[in-house]
Structure 1
């Protein structure tokens, strides 16, 4: 059955066509718009990989699409062997490059089996940064060198990690990383191009497992979002400011984020899977979260986090994977505010 990928699994390519990425037992499925903003889709194309338990999708400034998968295999009933696999798509609608293994940073088989789902960030030079955690705690990093070879795993340290981390790069090409901990959100930042990431001040209150998200809300400035662990809703924080509640009622899992122009205003759009299992969307003026978000329950049940993107005509597009494994797409109507149209299923292979 099809399931939602992690990260930005609805993306706009270098020709402005949208693509959707999902996972199944057979591998990764991809649907691609026939033409930019048309609402007509081709696919699904299948890129086979055996043993995937999760896939994370990311994109750099050049709009190449990077896919990181957690792969698990067993031989003759023995212990699970876990590694990460990586592939890249250079152009919309084209095939992926070859899948390659990035190994596992933990040598002990028991520790290796606890490897979590990865996060990916691509800096301004196109360097891919892969982040992952496991039972030993902290965050491990592996990245491409400028020659295209992969460097050795590096321990960024940190405490115990509760769920997958989140990574992104600013418009200046600097990578930032969030990792939900047991008492706070751990944060690492890159202060100049090509530099190592350094630990920054943690964010509080404590997050729900795997709920962190990043959105650039001013040039070079990320706003961090996460769900508070006891269920009081979503929190937001920018560097140098206190964290503040912005409402919502998210279930466990990450938030999707997007900036969009609505009625001529720069707005922030958030989406999550609500406690009742339906997709919920929140909107506010960018930088104005403290004044409150307007939250709307779509009423559509979903598995995993909804995805958000702008299509080739600048309209907000929402994607969800339903409880039956169908992928549904909804697009902004030409009306005031963020008014969605009807949900449309993508073709079934």
Structure 2
């Protein structure tokens, strides 16, 4: 059977990654598995691939990367039992270096291994999201079948802890985690009543009970961007005004404008024209990609949005290449990956789109 060369959608998380060798890699879900592309040389422009990685029965793919460069692939796998029920588990694989083989997929089980009588075998379990702490501990967060937040951790030695119930209720969409500079991990999630935030008192420690805030992110749009100050900035679409919002724990939210996003934003901190900036990208309501840029301190600086003509599926991805240039990727409705790279013009101007 011929292996697929186009995606069936878009991965979640950081699906455009920069390896320790300075080359970019791109990941997309496809029929029966995952597709992987990589740059032929640092800074491109040529790409090689796709490499096909078999992973049957995935409904969703999430990509996370640690400071060691290792790329972690997380999947939500759903299979049918003989009686027709949905049997769901979370699976994990690693790619240690650019264009190297991916490890075998390992099942992490699911948070509700012993569901109540009559339960659907985890069909309501959410999509996994991942973040890797400064010490290399892998954190996998999932909305549990009951609507709370569940966590499973893997230490740098490779030992997985049991699923932990972080409490909370009514989670909508995927949680948004961040690995902070001081080694702690923080995560927020939208609920039907507002926003919940979980924090660690110390690196590697337990998570305190969630704190609730009277903020209304549109379900499924939140993303976290760690900052050098030891805090994370969260971006989401405000459910009331439809524009982008930036928020830090303990601060008032800042309105960034723009049109509503239906998926999580892609967020990147970089320098533009010598200034410390944030770049955001998302899929607009009309299906076209939108990119914006502004000062890191969104409360004091402006934010400028640029509507692109290209149509995309799901959320775009942002990364810096081996030369420090901003790179944007998206998957079009036909499943083809596209790459645009920052050119030498002032501001954020991208080159002609390259089809992979």
Give, in angstroms, the shift of residue 97 of structure 1. Answer: 1.1
Q: Does 1:87 align with 2:87?
A: no
Deviating 4+ runs (over 4 angstroms): none
Q: For the aligned residues, what is the CA RMSD?
A: 1.5
Within the candidate set 327, 336, 345, 2:337 is matched to 327
Instruction: Give the TM-score normalised by structure 2.
Output: 0.93
Matches for 1:189-268 after TM superposition, within 5 Å? 189-199=199-209, 201-268=211-278
Q: CA-to-partner distance for each residue in 1:94-132, whole Å, 9 max, x for gaps?
A: 011111000011122426111110111111111111110
In the other structure, the counterpart of 2:35 is 29
Question: Which residue of the partner structure matches residue 101 of structure 1?
Answer: 107
Q: Is the contact between residue 221 and residue 261 of structure 2 (CA under 8 Å) also seen in structure 1?
A: no
Structure-2 change in CA distance of 1:19 and 1:289 (3 Å): farther
Q: Corresponding residue for 2:138?
A: 128
Gaps of 5+ in 1: none
- 2: CA distance, partners of 1:44 / 1:98: 18
The separation in 1 between residues aligned to 2:210 and 2:292, in whole angstroms, is 28
Alignment correspondent of 1:12 = 18
Contact 1:203 1:243 in 2 (8 A): no
Deviation string 1:308-340 (CA, Å, 9 cap, x unpaired) is 000001100000000111100000110100011
Query: Which of 14, 39, 44 pairs up with 1:38?
Result: 44
Q: Are positions 1:306 and 2:320 aligned together? A: no
Q: Which moved more, 1:250-259 or 1:308-317?
A: 250-259
In the alignment, what sits opposite 2:351?
Answer: 341
| C-alpha distance in structure 1 between counterparts of 2:49 and 2:200, whole Å | 38
Q: Contact conserved, 2:200 with 2:207, CA < 8 A, in 1?
A: yes
Aligned 8 A contact 1:57 1:67 in 2: yes
**Aligned residue in 2 for 1:187:** 197
Q: By how many angstroms is 1:78 displaced?
A: 1.4
For residue 58 of structure 1, the aligned residue among 64, 75, 82 is 64
What is the alpha-carbon distance in structure 1 between the residues aligned to residue 28 and residue 240 of structure 2? 30
Taking structure 1 as the reference length, what is the TM-score of the superposition? 0.95
Q: 1:110 to 1:230 in 2, by over 3 A?
A: farther
Tell me which moved more, 156-165 or 189-198.
189-198
Write the distance in 2 (CA, Å) between the matches of 1:289 and 1:280. Answer: 21
1: CA distance, partners of 2:328 / 2:157: 37
Query: Displacement of 1:205 after TM fit?
Result: 2.5
How far has the Cα of 1:163 moved from its partner? 0.6
Q: How many residues align?
A: 346
Match of 2:306 among 277, 284, 296: 296
